[in-house]
Amino acid sequence: MAAIAIEPMAFGCRRDPAAKKEGLGHSSCQPAAGAALLFGETMIGWRVFDVMRTIDWIESRKDLDPSRVGLMGISGGGTCTLYAAALDRRIKTAFMSCSLCSFRDSILSISHCIDNYVPAILNWAEMYDVAGLIAPRPFFSESGDRDDIFPLEASRDAFARVKKIYEVFGVQDQAGYEIFSGEHSFHGVGGLRFAAEKLGADAAQKS
């Protein structure tokens, strides 16, 4: 399997000069996300655009298989995974780490980075409703039992609601969930195995 790491806007090399002076532990999410709002757009929209253009690039490569694209991320990267997989069906498997929850119990109730917010979305859908748009394609989520910004009980409930949508499609085995002992961090034990199996199964069916 080939892996492509997208540098998220406002992190790493894509930070503004002020954040770069502060060191690697600082991002420029707040000013960049605020700038997006001034244009009537959102930071998460810009990051999803990056994902879609990356898949376009994958499709241009003879050494990569665009029919076997998986996407994963932790925290804000998991949020990007959520929206990108809901909007782009070329993503065959989605893995959210420490990010599936409800809006009401996470970014509405706990101070989060502004790049997680989509104006007015609660007028239409909760986070688990958006995740349900990924069905029937494979979906996996993991939660740390001591995650202080995506509370475990709300995350567990959110996955249960997503699982019901997969049951309606008759593909409940395409949705997986793991709770690990830890704080807000990437675990990946069950999720990476799940993603590899699902992407490998797609390849086996074509051969």
Decide if 68 contacts 45 (C-beta within 8 A).
no
Residue 14 has pLDDT above 80, yes or no: yes
Complete edge-to-edge strand list for the sheet that includes strand 175-180? 69-74, 91-97, 139-144, 175-180
Q: How far apart are CA 201 and CA 138, in angstroms?
A: 11
Per DSSP, the three-state class of 113 is coil
Please compute the mean of the pLDDT values over residues 84-111 and round it to a whole number.
Answer: 97
Domains: count for the chain: 1
Place of tokens 């001591």: 146
Residue 43 has pLDDT above 90, yes or no: yes
Residue 54 has pLDDT above 90, yes or no: yes
Dihedral of alpha carbons 125, 126, 132, 134, sign = positive
Q: Residue 120 falls within a domain, yes or no?
A: yes
pLDDT band at 201 (very low <50, low <70, confident <90, very high): low
User: In sequence order, which ranges of the chain are alpha helices (DSSP H)?
Assistant: 17-22, 29-38, 43-59, 76-87, 127-132, 152-169, 189-206
pLDDT in tens, 26-38: 899 999 999 999 9
Q: How far apart are CA 106 and CA 81, in angstroms?
A: 17
Label the pairing between strands 139-144 and 91-97. parallel
Please compute the mean of the pLDDT values over residues 140-160 and round it to a whole number.
Answer: 98
Percentage of the chain modeled with pLDDT above 90: 86
Domain containing 197 — which CATH number?
A: 3.40.50.1820
Pick from 7-21, 44-58, 66-80, 155-169: least confident: 7-21
Q: How far apart are CA 175 and CA 195, in angstroms?
A: 11
pLDDT band at 204 (very low <50, low <70, confident <90, very high): very low
Which residues, listed in sequence order, are joined to residue 58 by a DSSP beta bridge?
none
Provide the CA 118 distance to its chain's centre, in angstroms: 14
Q: Residue 174 falls within a domain, yes or no?
A: yes
Please compute the mean of the pLDDT values over residues 50-56 and round it to a whole number.
Answer: 98
Residue 180 has pLDDT above 90, yes or no: yes
Q: How far apart are CA 52 and CA 159, in angstroms?
A: 25
Short-list 130, 207, 194, CA closest to 161: 130
Q: Residue 97 falls within a domain, yes or no?
A: yes
More confident call, 202 vs 60: 60
For residue 24, the model assigns a pLDDT of 84
Question: Domain range for residue 155?
Answer: 65-206
Q: How far apart are CA 189 and CA 58, in angstroms?
A: 26
What single-letter DSSP state applies at residue 174? G
Q: Residue 78 falls within a domain, yes or no?
A: yes
